[in-house]
Amino acid sequence: MKEQELKFNMNKSIEATQRNFNTIRTGRANSTLLDRISVEYYGAETPIKSLASIATIDSQTISIQPFDLSCLQAIEKSILMSDIGITPNNDGKVIRINVPPLTEERRKEFCKLASKYAEEGKVALRNIRRDAVDKVKKDEKEGLISIDESRDNQQEIQKITDNYIKQIEAKLSEKEKEILKV
């Protein structure tokens, strides 16, 4: 596995971890809370952002205005069934979601969830590292590279992996501060 390919795959893992972090509530209204929620629309699972205009009115309110009013009930039902734990208010044209301030206990739960997402990201990075190291060892075994080159490549792969793991830890720290901020 070439260094560019390794970094590309690790960047994808970092981006996936960041997307997971974005779905965690922080006590302030944020449209990314709805990113993982999909609605059954004409027989297909469709993300809410494809069916409606989503806006944050203020720091505590998210507004969802469907492009097609016939899917209003389906959007409301999907939000109710989701794991975000917020009840939507439907006025017949627009769905409003009031994001209540988080309790201390709920903040700690969200910090644990963020840690879980960070650990999943680190595991993904380690799997990418393992695949890269296996390729280097295979090349060494086939005689394509020397033992010294193999060792140097493995050390370089480890350095790159350590760098990306630090990035995930920094993003986790940033998210935890955001969650714990009252």
3-state helix, strand and coil shares in percent for the chain, rounded to the nearest 5: 60, 15, 25
- For residues 32 and 35, give the distance between their C-alpha atoms in angstroms, rounded to a whole number: 5
Give the domain ranges of the chain: 3-21+103-180, 28-98
3 state DSSP class of 24: coil
Q: What is the pTM of this model?
A: 0.73
| DSSP code of residue 86 | -
Q: What is the pLDDT of residues 30-75, one digit of tens each?
A: 788 888 888 988 888 989 888 899 988 888 889 999 998 888 888 9
pLDDT at residue number 134: 94
28-98: CATH topology is Gyrase A; domain 2 (3.30.1360)
- For residues 24 and 109, give the distance between their C-alpha atoms in angstroms, rounded to a whole number: 10
CATH of the domain spanning 3-21+103-180: 1.10.132.20
Q: What is the pLDDT of residues 142-152, one digit of tens each?
A: 989 999 999 99
- For residues 148 and 140, give the distance between their C-alpha atoms in angstroms, rounded to a whole number: 9
Beta bridge partner(s), residue 62: 56, 97
Q: What is the pLDDT of residues 82-138, one digit of tens each?
A: 877 788 898 988 999 888 887 888 888 889 999 999 999 999 999 999 999 999 999
| Lookup: tokens for 128 | 């990418």
The residue whose two tokens read 């994808």 is 12
CB under 8 A, 24+ apart: contacts of 33-39: 33/62, 33/84, 33/86, 33/99, 34/62, 34/64, 34/79, 34/84, 36/82, 37/78, 37/79, 37/82, 37/84, 38/78, 39/71, 39/74, 39/75, 39/77, 39/78
Identify whether the C-beta of residue 56 lies closer than 8 Å to the C-beta of residue 29: yes
pLDDT at residue number 182: 67
Radius of gyration of the chain from Cα atoms?
A: 22
